[in-house]
């Protein structure tokens, strides 16, 4: 009998990360994983993200044909992309979701191709396709949605996939049900998401595009009055200002590099400005985690540091020092989003989690 396998697909701007996992009913075993690199010049030739679909599908098919071997594909998982607000969980991919992701997403991003790619390959093999915990997961409590300006309520836009995967990992290590876990999880990558995970739900978060601390490439939350003045000053066009805030802001805007390893080397060489900027970023992270702990009444099982920045011993030492009185600090370096996708689908295949159907309303109560 052939072994069952799950394919995970995580499209990025110039890569498509693929991973194939053997599924034994209770555990996943990595068969193969690869970041399929796409030439920037080739990608620039596509007029839209949606037009990249067939190009990327062919590369994934090649990966699958080379790696599947004696295994039998039983499901495909794709990165969820920029969907409308949804509850956490696993969503079945159908034609309606494919059409939405390709043509009417909330924001245009390569991750929107995750659902269409998974759906297309799953159809070829006659298996199900799913997305898991997209960034649009929105389980904010009503009190967390209120802002001081009626036209702009607060909303969730969060690295839900890695945050919830890390929460499940901590729950397993504590031998505690995930739906009883209370933690603050800080995903610290190119963008930051700092979220309160209470009884398995993301009840509050720092919107990764709006209100977070500044990051290696994003400006984070800014004082509104100077920003308004700048918007109307004529100094920048709309596109230039967006670029300054997202992609060329944060550490990059202050030091000219997004590479935290390089920043740490600059500090070792005695660069005082680099040291100040680096500490300011970590200071803001610690402050945001402390604020998010108040959402859980400071009753926490743990604080989790994850994402690329958590690979830095220097950064995690600073944050442990600042946060250790709140709760035990757990460091889960990097993020394995392909495995998190496969784990979500495995729960569906095992019957421990029921998949949601598209369209899904974030107002739906999730157990």
CATH number at residue 35: 3.30.420.40
In sequence order, the 6+-apart residues with CB closer than 8 A to the CB of 20 are: 5, 6, 7, 8, 30, 31, 32, 33, 63, 64, 67, 68, 71
Q: Work out the burial of residue 224: count CB atoms within 10 Å of its CB; fewer than 13 is exposed, 13-18 middle, 19 or more buried.
A: exposed
How far from chain centre, in Å, is Cα 192? 9
Q: Are residues 13 and 109 in the same domain?
A: yes
Residue 23 falls within a domain, yes or no? yes
Judgement on whether residues 319 and 184 belong to the same structural domain of the protein: yes
pLDDT of residue 2: 66
At 362, the pLDDT band (50, 70, 90 cuts) reads low
Nearest to 205 by CA among 214, 191, 220, 195: 195
Q: How many domains does the chain have?
A: 2
What distance in Å separates the CA atoms of residue 140 and residue 202, rounded to the nearest whole number?
Answer: 7
Q: What is the mean pLDDT of the chain?
A: 95
Residue 365 located in a structural domain: no
pLDDT at 87 over 50: yes
Q: Where are the alpha helices (DSSP H) in the chain?
A: 40-44, 53-67, 95-103, 114-125, 142-145, 160-174, 224-231, 238-245, 250-255, 260-268, 272-295, 313-323, 337-350
Tokens, residue 126: 């006659």
Q: How far apart are CA 97 and CA 142, in angstroms?
A: 27
- Whether residue 365 is predicted with pLDDT greater than 50 in this model: the reply is no
Q: Largest Cα–Cα distance in the chain?
A: 69
- Asked if omega into 359 is within 30° of 0 (cis), the reply is yes
pLDDT at position 363 is 54
- Quick check: is 214 in a domain? yes
Q: What is the pTM of this model?
A: 0.92
Domain of residue 10, residue span = 4-136+337-350
Mean pLDDT of 163-175: 98
Same-domain check for residues 42 and 167: no
Q: Is residue 267 part of a domain?
A: yes
In terms of domains, do 81 and 125 share one?
Answer: yes
Q: Is the pLDDT of residue 367 over 50?
A: no
343 & 313 share domain: no
Binning pLDDT at 50, 70 and 90, where does residue 32 land?
A: very high
Q: For residue 155, is it within any domain?
A: no
Average pLDDT over residues 237-258: 95
- DSSP strand pairing (182-188 vs 4-11): unpaired
Looking at the structure, tell me whether residues 53 and 131 fall in a common domain.
yes
Contacts of 150 (CB under 8 A, 6+ apart): none
Q: Cβ-count burial of 299 within 10 angstroms (0-12 exposed, 13-18 middle, 19+ buried)?
A: exposed
Q: What is the tens place of the pLDDT at every residue in 40-64?
A: 889 989 999 999 999 999 999 999 9
The residue among 155 and 130 whose pLDDT is bigger is 130
User: What tens digit of pLDDT does each residue of 92-141 get?
Assistant: 999 999 999 999 999 888 999 999 999 999 999 999 999 999 999 999 99
Indicate if the pLDDT at residue 209 is higher than 90: no
Q: Is 91 helix (H, G, I), strand (E, B) or coil?
A: strand
Give domain status of residue 194, yes or no: yes
Interval 169-195 mean pLDDT? 97
147 is a domain residue:
no
């Amino acid at each position: 009998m052939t072994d069952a396998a799950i394919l995970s697909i995580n499209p990025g701007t110039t890569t498509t990360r693929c991973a194939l996992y053997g599924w034994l009913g209770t555990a996943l075993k990595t068969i193969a994983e690869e970041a399929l690199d796409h030439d920037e010049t080739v990608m620039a030739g596509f007029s839209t993200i949606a037009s990249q679909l067939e190009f990327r599908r062919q590369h994934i098919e090649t990966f699958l044909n080379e790696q599947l071997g004696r295994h039998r594909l039983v499901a495909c998982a794709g990165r969820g992309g920029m969907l409308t607000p949804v509850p956490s969980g696993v969503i079945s991919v159908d034609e309606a979701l494919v059409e939405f992701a390709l043509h009417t997403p909330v924001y245009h991003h390569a991750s929107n191709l995750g659902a269409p790619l998974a759906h297309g390959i799953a159809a070829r093999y006659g298996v199900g396709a799913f997305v898991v915990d997209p960034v649009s997961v929105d389980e904010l409590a009503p009190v967390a949605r209120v802002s001081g300006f009626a036209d702009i309520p607060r909303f969730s836009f969060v690295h839900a996939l890695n945050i919830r995967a890390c929460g499940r990992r901590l729950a397993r290590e504590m031998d505690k049900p995930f739906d009883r876990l209370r933690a603050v999880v800080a995903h610290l990558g190119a963008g930051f998401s700092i979220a309160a995970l209470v009884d398995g739900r993301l009840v509050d978060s720092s919107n990764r595009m709006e209100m977070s601390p500044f990051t290696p490439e994003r400006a984070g939350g800014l004082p509104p009055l100077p920003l308004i003045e700048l918007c109307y000053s004529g100094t920048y066009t709309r596109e230039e200002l967006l670029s300054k805030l997202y992609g060329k802001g944060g550490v990059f805007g202050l030091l000219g590099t997004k590479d935290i390893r390089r920043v740490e080397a600059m500090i070792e060489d005695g660069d005082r400005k680099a040291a100040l900027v680096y500490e300011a970023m970590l200071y803001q992270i610690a402050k945001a985690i402390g604020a998010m702990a108040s959402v859980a009444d400071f009753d926490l099982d743990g604080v989790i540091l994850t994402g690329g920045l958590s690979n830095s011993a220097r950064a995690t030492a600073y944050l442990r020092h600042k946060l250790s009185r709140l709760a035990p600090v757990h460091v889960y370096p990097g993020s394995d989003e392909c495995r998190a996708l496969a784990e979500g689908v495995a729960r569906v295949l095992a019957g421990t989690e029921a998949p949601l159907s598209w369209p899904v309303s974030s107002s739906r109560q999730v157990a």
